[in-house]
Amino acid sequence: MTSRRRRPRSSRPTSSRRTARTSLASLGLIAVVALAGWLLHTTGVTDGDADAATDGAPSSTAAPTITADATDPTDRTSPTDATAAATARSRLAALPVKGKAPATGYDREARFGTAWLDVDHNGCDTRNDVLARDLTDVERQGPCKVLRGTLVSPYTGDRVDFVRGNTTSTLVQIDHVVALENAWRTGAQQLSQEQREALANDPANLFAVDGHSNAQKRSGDAATWLPADTAFRCTYVEHQIAVKTTYRLWVAPAEHDAMERVLSRC
């Protein structure tokens, strides 16, 4: 910071000159305030409207306004994230809400097919497809079999090295975002075998994750388990809602409320 040079005592303004300057400053301030008031009156723009306009939603549409936290002006929601959250809220509102059916008759392989199938007929089973999609620095044997790679688990943010055939291979697992037992208890009993197999192998319902998180989650829904990485919870719940919408499943009351709480923060 540059220090101000102090004037010699003899050159300081007199009392009358200071009074004149104060009066002029006051008049200037009054003029600025009056001009600002006139502009607000004629344009109808407030600070809140100006902030909302930066979020990219055209004023002529009914898209929801995304407003950043006033205490943190750098905390902006991207248009893509805002659209995904709005879509998920709309889909959640349309999903039936009722209690879970009994787990009677649930059997992973008998009801949802052998793990893992090649439902997209690309010549590779679903597990290798997901590993190739979610890992980096992937090495393969032939066109399909993933031998090694690196995962940043979306559930924790931790790095996990995957090497097929040694102890690290179990550290990377494929999680069903909507657990298959949960799907069975919320409508999948009414699906055909082909539809259930499609659900079990749907890329939208699958993430490569760290084995610890997958073991913790088991067959839990959003009311009983959420990813430790809070930044990923919106994406996680959005996928659950999308899958339940696609396969015409329902949500239990506690599950619905947990999803709604997550989306309220997205």
Determine the pLDDT at residue 125: 97
What is the C-alpha to C-alpha distance for residues 111 and 78, in angstroms, rounded to an integer?
A: 40
Average pLDDT score over residue span 116-133: 95
* Cβ-proximal residues to 63 (8 Å cutoff; 6+ apart), any chain: 57, 86
Query: In 3D, which of 94, 86, 28, 140 has the Cα closest to residue 263?
Result: 86
- Which amino acid makes up residue 158? D
Determine the pLDDT at residue 71: 30
Determine the pLDDT at residue 168: 72
Q: How far is residue 18 CA from its own chain's centroid?
A: 59
Question: What are 184-196's pLDDT values in tens digits?
Answer: 999 999 999 999 9
* 3-state SS class at 214: helix
What is the rounded (10 degree) CA torsion for 96, 101, 106, 112?
Answer: -10
Tokens 């090495």 map to which residue? 139
Token pair in block for residue 238: 């959005």
Query: In 3D, which of 80, 78, 94 has the Cα closest to residue 241?
Result: 94
Question: What are 129-177's pLDDT values in tens digits?
Answer: 999 999 999 999 999 999 999 999 999 999 999 999 887 788 999 999 9
Mean pLDDT over all residues of the chain?
77
Question: What are 66-93's pLDDT values in tens digits?
Answer: 222 223 322 333 457 889 999 999 999 9
Q: 3-state SS of the chain: helix, strand, coil percent to 5?
A: 50, 10, 40
pLDDT at 126 over 80: yes
Instruction: Report domain extents, the chain.
Output: 17-53, 79-264
Q: How far is residue 206 CA from its own chain's centroid?
A: 16
Determine the pLDDT at residue 27: 34
Question: What are 221-245's pLDDT values in tens digits?
Answer: 999 999 999 999 999 999 999 999 9
Determine the pLDDT at residue 246: 98
Average pLDDT score over residue span 4-26: 38
With both helix axes pointing from N to C terminus, report the angle between 233-246 and 79-94 in degrees, rounded to the nearest 10: 40
Determine the pLDDT at residue 94: 98
More confident residue, 14 or 56: 14
Token pair in block for residue 198: 């499609």
